[in-house]
Amino acid sequence: MKIFATVAAAAAAAAACLLLAGSAAADVGVERVDRHAGRPGDDVHLTIGCGFCFPPCKGPKGERHPEGFAKGPCMLGTDGVAPPASFGVSLVSRARAERLLRRSMTCGPHPSRCPTSARPPRGHGYRYLGEAVPPPGGNNPEHGDPPRYLLDFEIPDLAPGQYSYVIWCDACREGRRGSLVVNPNSPLWRLERLGPDRRS
């Protein structure tokens, strides 16, 4: 599943809201998190917003609506392909995330140099957290809000320090590899593993 060609006007407005909320681009990013620091075993509830994850459009021009709903934003140019079922989420040190971000910002003319992975990264400095999935009952585009994906996890056993979320986005690029989306400059994307002498 790859990124859709055209976004309906309302979806574009929703994507702009995501950018303001701290996403790495106006497509997919961390929208909300209930904990920014803690120790191994502490619960974290993470919300990802996706500006291109509305259902495909149905109906003729002027009467378009999201598939399965009477109204709301929808995606053009999808050939009926459904939105992503999930987004893999990992943690990596903030320093490494900053290097990934620099690569993402300079690889435009050379897409093959952009940070990618065949699956959500794990090992080699990455700690895989799980798959963010739609809320129970799915997303309802009739409210006009960006679709959301949720992940509940426990802070893993990491060395004390600052980390950043990495979102694996299979739909964000052509080919068999997915993009690695990061934005360590935003507090929303950061998680601090506290040392033994500090409290969250």
Q: State the sign of the Cα–Cα–Cα–Cα dihedral 181, 184, 188, 189.
A: positive
* Pair of tokens at residue 180: 């690695």
Q: Distance (Å, rounded) from C-alpha 116 to C-alpha 176?
A: 10
Q: Is the pTM of the predicted complex or chain greater than 0.95? A: no
Kindly state the percentage of the chain with pLDDT values over 90: 60
Q: Distance (Å, rounded) from C-alpha 109 to C-alpha 63?
A: 38
| 64 burial level (CB within 10 Å; 0-12, 13-18, 19+) | middle
For the beta carbon of residue 44, count every other beta carbon within 10 angstroms: 17
For residue 143, the 8-state DSSP code is G
Query: Which of the residue ranges 40-54, 96-110, 137-151, 182-196 would you say has the lowest mean pLDDT?
Result: 96-110
* Pair of tokens at residue 125: 């400095």
